[in-house]
Amino acid sequence: MIDTYRGIRDAQRIVRLSAAMDMPFVFTKSLEFALFRTYGIPSISSLLLHTGQLGKAENAGRRYVDTSGLIQAFMTFPVPRLDLPDGGEKHVNQDQDGDGWEHFGEDPNDPRSSIALARVNFLHGRWKSKISNDDLLYTLSTFVKEPAKWIDRYEWRETSALEKEALFALFYHIGRCMDIKNIPDTLEGFLQWSEHYENQHMVFNKCNKEVADHTTNLLLYALPGLLHGFARDIVASLMDDRLREAMGYAKAPRWVVTFKNVLFEVRRVVIRTLLLPRSKPLSNIPIGADEKDNVFSIEHLLSDGIPAVCPASGARAVDGKVCPVGNHSSQPITKTAEGGFKPAPWRMELSWYENEPVYARPYPKHSAGWWAEESKIKIGLLKREDRKGAARWMPVTLPPLEKVRNEKADGKDGVVEGFGGFRLEEMGPKGLELKGRKEVLENAEKLYGGKIDGKWAFEP
């Protein structure tokens, strides 16, 4: 049946099956490496240094989470219909109404992909005079070629021709949503253009190495210092010579390359012969029924600490239910963030963090994660102010923690259980959380094709 797919959203479903069901680990790493590869272009890396987002260690973790969250959002949630007359749906089995195995229980009217792309457009627009269309086009090309290349090299099976075309179709559409010009019309043409661009522009510059070093440090975030040298060699072993030389990295020792290849080969054999197919998607931004623990309302933490409960039915606003009598959904938000801003209650959280837990809610007290953090703090591997849910990770769109103290607060470090998370229209560098809301909303509704309502709506 999947061979009958023709629409853009059909292409997205094919990509999502690869990304979340068949080979989530390598697919995710390939996207991370796709961004890393762009740092080998001096015009891109120099701009990142100029903005300070990857030129300063204190900003690199935040940018990593913001970039990861926005990219995963517009890849995971149904892509905008934009100007497509068929809404991106062309396959012959539309009567399944989202119940087929290739669906993840998504809401076809979910606006979050549109919001994420609109936020990316706003953030890029601030540097419009310094970002060339060709650099944007090259970055887009890495998201088409790197996943297929990495999967073919390191996964338990290679990508099919259909999967490669689906990647191209999806990112061709995403490029149009980002107003990128002159995108080649075919996969072959796009790959040839990207190769030519690298030949012309991927050359060594000290800014390439500086940005690459900050990014590599993020990858080593959770590793003991003794392993950092070995891990850097592993990173170098994953680069082709052109990229490695542009980054100014030394060639990895032969034994490290052999170790890496053997490790991936053993992994390939184990997955192919011993493991059952995945029964549910593995995604850092869950979708459909899997959103249960990662999409939440913090209304009760932003009011007077009393959850909104319908006196007649017992429906709780924090569970996403509406009072059938008065039709109210929550107590009004009374606590404001910096600048008097009243944050929207519905927020999201990533399923896991590979480095700094920006926006993360704290682990529930006495949970396994909480005890693991306590153990790391006691032996000096983690600072108390760096644990999940700590004040330094909270966005300014939420009130300062001291204003939200309640009976759930941890007396040692002041974290508040359930407090944190992000909204797509607020993501980006520090100081920009409240900026561009009107522009983002207008662009999001243009991409979406109408007014955005529901829990992900926001005021400009």
Residue found under tokens 């644990």: 387
Per-residue confidence at 125, pLDDT binned at 50, 70, 90?
very high
Among 67, 96, 79, smallest CA distance to 10 is for 79
Rounded Cα gap, residues 362 and 370, in angstroms: 8
Mean pLDDT value across the chain: 85
Give pLDDT, residue 249: 96
Give pLDDT, residue 99: 52
Per-residue confidence at 91, pLDDT binned at 50, 70, 90?
low
Please, how many CA atoms are within 13 Å of residue 276, restricted to the half-sphere of its CB?
Answer: 3
Q: 307-340: per-residue pLDDT in tens?
A: 444 434 444 444 444 444 333 344 445 566 655 6
The arithmetic mean of pLDDT across residues 7-16, rounded, is: 92
Residue found under tokens 């080593």: 220
The pLDDT of residue 143 is above 70: yes
Rounded Cα gap, residues 299 and 318, in angstroms: 7
Higher pLDDT, 49 or 102: 49
Rounded Cα gap, residues 142 and 309, in angstroms: 49
Give pLDDT, residue 89: 67
The pLDDT of residue 92 is above 50: no
Per-domain boundaries in the chain: 2-274, 294-429
Phi, psi of 184 (to 5 degrees): -55, 150
The pLDDT of residue 136 is above 80: yes
Q: 346-367: per-residue pLDDT in tens?
A: 999 999 888 889 999 999 989 9
**Percentage of the chain with pLDDT > 90?**
59
Q: Please, are residues 406 and 305 in contact by the beta-carbon 8 Å criterion?
A: yes
Phi, psi of 153 (to 5 degrees): -90, -35
Q: Please, are residues 447 and 117 in contact by the beta-carbon 8 Å criterion?
A: yes
Rounded Cα gap, residues 260 and 73, in angstroms: 31
The contacts of residue 2 (CB under 8 Å, 6+ apart) are 14, 102, 162
Higher pLDDT, 402 or 233: 233
Among 413, 411, 414, 418, smallest CA distance to 302 is for 418
Rounded Cα gap, residues 292 and 247, in angstroms: 41
Range with lowest mean pLDDT among 51-55, 165-169, 181-185, 378-382:
51-55
The pLDDT of residue 302 is above 80: no
Whole-angstrom distance between the N-terminal and C-terminal Cα of the chain? 43
Burial class (CB in 10 A: 0-12, 13-18, 19+), 254: exposed
pTM equals: 0.87
The pLDDT of residue 344 is above 50: yes
Residue 398 region by backbone torsions, left for phi larger than 0, else alpha for psi between -120 and 50, else beta: beta
Q: Please, are residues 352 and 325 in contact by the beta-carbon 8 Å criterion?
A: no
Rounded Cα gap, residues 222 and 89, in angstroms: 42
Q: Please, are residues 134 and 158 in contact by the beta-carbon 8 Å criterion?
A: no
DSSP bridge pairs for 297:
346
Give pLDDT, residue 288: 80
The pLDDT of residue 1 is above 50: no
Tokens of 438: 């009107």
CA angle 332, 298, 122 (to 5 degrees): 95
Among 186, 174, 167, 88, smallest CA distance to 136 is for 174
Write out the chain in H/E/C secondary structure.
CHHHCCCHHHHHHHHHHHHHHHCHHHHHHHHHHHHHHHCCCHHHHHHHHHHCCCCCHHHHHHHHHHHHHHHHHHHHCCCCCCCCCCCCCCCCCHHHCCCCCCCCCCCCCCCHHHHHHHHHHHHHHCCCCCCCHHHHHHHHHHHHHHHHHHHHHHCCCCCCHHHHHHHHHHHHHHHHHCCCCCCCCCHHHHHHHHHHHHHHHCCCCHHHHHHHHHHHHHHCCCCCHHHHHHHHHHHHHCCCHHHHHHHCCCCCCHHHHHHHHHHHHHHHHHHHHHCCCCCCCCCCCCCHHHHCCCEEECHHHHCCCCCCECCCCCCEHHHCCCCCCCCCCCCCCCCCCHHHCCCCCEEECCCCCCCCCCCCCCCCCCCHHHHHHHHHHHCCCCCHHHCCCCHHHCCCCCCCHHHCCCCCECCCCCCECCCCCECHHHCCCCCCCCCCHHHHHHHHHHHHCCCCCCCCCCCC
Rounded Cα gap, residues 33 and 20, in angstroms: 17
Neighbours of 181 (CB within 10 A): 10
Burial class (CB in 10 A: 0-12, 13-18, 19+), 1: exposed
